[in-house]
Amino acid sequence: MKIIKCLLLTLSVAIARNGSASDPVNGPVRCSTMEHMQHLSAENPALLQIWQSDEQMLQQAMSQNALNRSSSFISVLPVVVHVVYKTNGQNISDAQIQSQIDVLNEDFARQNADTTSTPAAFRPAASATNFRFCLAQTDPFGNPTTGIERRMTTVTSFSTNDDVKTYSSGGMDAWDVNRYFNIWVCKLSGGILGYGEFPSSAHTNTYGVVINYDAFGRTGLVSPPYNMGRTSTHEIGHCFNLKHIWGDDGGGCTGSDYVTDTPNQSSETYGCRSWPAYDACTGSSGNGYMYMNYMDYSDDNCLNMFTVGQATRMANAMSLFYPTLLTSTACESVNGLGDSPDDFRFNLYPNPSSGIINVDMFYMQNIGEHVKLTVTDLTGRSIMERIVHNPNGHIIQLDLTGNNAGIYFITISNDNYNKTQRFMITN
Ligand SMILES: [Zn+2]
What confidence tens digit (pLDDT) does each residue in 150-161 have? 999 999 999 999
Inform me whether the pLDDT recorded for 179 exceeds 60.
yes
pLDDT confidence band for 309 (50 / 70 / 90): very high
What pLDDT does residue 334 have? Answer: 64
% pLDDT > 90, the chain: 67
Distance from the CA of 119 to the center of ligand 1, in angstroms? 22
Distance CA 265, CA 140 (A): 42
Distance in Å, CA 23 to ligand 1 centroid: 13
pLDDT category at 405 given cuts 50, 70, 90 is confident
In this structure, the answer to whether residues 232 and 360 fall within a common structural domain is: no
Q: Which of the four pLDDT bands, split at 50, 70 and 90, describes residue 347? A: confident
Query: Which residue, among 240, 216, 202, has the nearest Cα to 316 in the 3D structure?
Result: 240
Residue 2 domain flag: no
Residue 302, in any domain of the structure: yes
Establish if 129 belongs to a structural domain.
yes
- Average pLDDT in the 214-238 region? 97
Residue 320 and residue 198 in one domain: yes
Whether 334 is covered by a domain: the verdict is no
Stretch among 31-35, 201-205, 391-395 having the lowest mean pLDDT: 391-395
157 and 186 inside one domain: yes
Cα pseudo-dihedral 167, 169, 171, 173, rounded to 10: -40
Residue 123, domain member (yes or no): yes
Residue where a domain stops, chosen among 300, 326, 352: 326
The confidence score (pLDDT) of residue 360 equals: 86
Among the three residues 326, 357, 378, which one is the final residue of a domain in this structure? 326
Measured CA to CA, the distance from residue 123 to residue 42 in angstroms comes to: 40
Give the pTM.
0.79
Q: Is the pLDDT of residue 18 over 50?
A: no
- Rounded to 10°, the helix 7-16/46-63 angle is 130
The C-alpha atoms of residue 68 and residue 119 are separated, in whole angstroms, by: 31
Expressed in angstroms and rounded, the spacing between residue 21 Cα and the centre of ligand 1 is: 10
Q: In this structure, is residue 120 part of a structural domain?
A: yes
Whether 216 and 142 share a structural domain:
yes
Q: Which three-class secondary structure string do you get for the chain?
A: CCCCCCHHHHHHHHHHCCCCCECCCCCCECCCHHHHHHHHHHHCCHHHHHHHHHHHHHHHHHHCCCCCCCCCCCEEEEEEEEEEECCHHHCCCHHHHHHHHHHHHHHCCCCCHHHHHCCHHHHHHEECCCEEEEECCECCCCCECCCEEEEECCCCCECCCCHHHCHHHCCCCCCCCCCCEEEEEECEHHHECEEECCCCCCCCCCCCEEEEHHHCCCCCCCCCCCCCCHHHHHHHHHHCCCCCCCCCCCCCCCCCCCCCCCCCCCCCCCCCCCCCCCCCCCCCCCCCCCCCECCCCCCHHHCCEEEHHHHHHHHHHHHHHCHHHHCCCCCCCCCCCCCCHHHCEEEEECCCECCEEEEEEEECCCCCCEEEEEEEECCCCEEEEEEEECCCCEEEEEECCCCCCEEEEEEEECCCCEEEEEEEECC
Catalytic sites, residue numbers: 235
What domain range is 419 assigned to? 341-425
One domain, residues 233 and 91 = yes
> In terms of domains, do 318 and 346 share one?
no
Same domain for 345 and 322: no
pLDDT band at 6 (very low <50, low <70, confident <90, very high): very low
Average pLDDT over residues 84-108: 97
Q: Is 10 a residue whose pLDDT tops 60?
A: no
Out of 152-161, 291-300, 365-374, 387-396, which region has the weakest mean confidence (pLDDT)? 365-374
* 369 CA → ligand 1 middle, Å: 55
Residues in a beta bridge with 307: 126
Q: How far is the CA of 234 from the centre of ligand 1 (A)?
A: 6
Instruction: Report the amino acid identity of residue 424.
Output: M
d(CA 250, CA 145): 44
Query: Distance from the CA of 106 to the center of ligand 1, in angstroms?
Result: 20
With bands split at pLDDT 50, 70 and 90, how would you rate the model's confidence at 278? very high
- For residues 365 and 274, membership in a common domain is answered with no
| Centroid of ligand 1 to alpha carbon of 153 (angstroms) | 27
Parallel, antiparallel or unpaired: strands 345-349 and 382-389:
unpaired
Determine the pLDDT at residue 25.
54
Whether 320 and 361 share a structural domain: no
Cis peptide before 263 (omega within 30 of 0): no
Average of per-residue pLDDT values in the chain: 88
What is the separation of C-alpha 375 from the centre of its chain, rounded to a whole number of angstroms?
A: 24
276 C-alpha to center of ligand 1: Å?
23
What's the gap in Å between 72 CA and the centre of ligand 1?
A: 27
Task: Compute the residue count for the chain.
Answer: 427
CATH of the domain at 411: 2.60.40.3080
pLDDT at 27: 74
* Same-domain pairing of 345 and 215: no
In a domain, 332, yes or no: no
Backbone dihedral region for residue 393 (phi beyond 0: left; psi -120 to 50: alpha; all else: beta): left
**Residue 301's closest CA among 107, 19, 120, 31?**
107
Q: Work out how many domains the chain is built from and give that number.
A: 2
Q: Is the pLDDT of residue 107 over 60?
A: yes
Q: Where a domain ends, among 326, 350, 384?
A: 326
Sign of the CA dihedral running 124, 234, 196, 178? negative
Q: Are residues 266 and 364 in the same domain?
A: no
312 plus 416 within the same structural domain: no
Predicted confidence band of residue 342 (pLDDT cuts 50, 70, 90):
low
CATH of the domain at 240: 3.40.390.10
CA of 264 to the centre of ligand 1 (A): 17
Specify if 223 maps to a domain. yes
pLDDT score recorded for residue 276:
97
pLDDT digits (tens, 9 = 90+) for 60-81: 888 887 665 555 678 999 999 9
pLDDT of 28 higher than 80: yes
Residue 301 alpha carbon to ligand 1 centre in Å: 17
Nearest to 183 by CA among 247, 142, 239, 129: 239
- C-alpha 196 – ligand 1 centre gap (Å): 7
40 close to 242: Cβ distance less than 8 angstroms: no
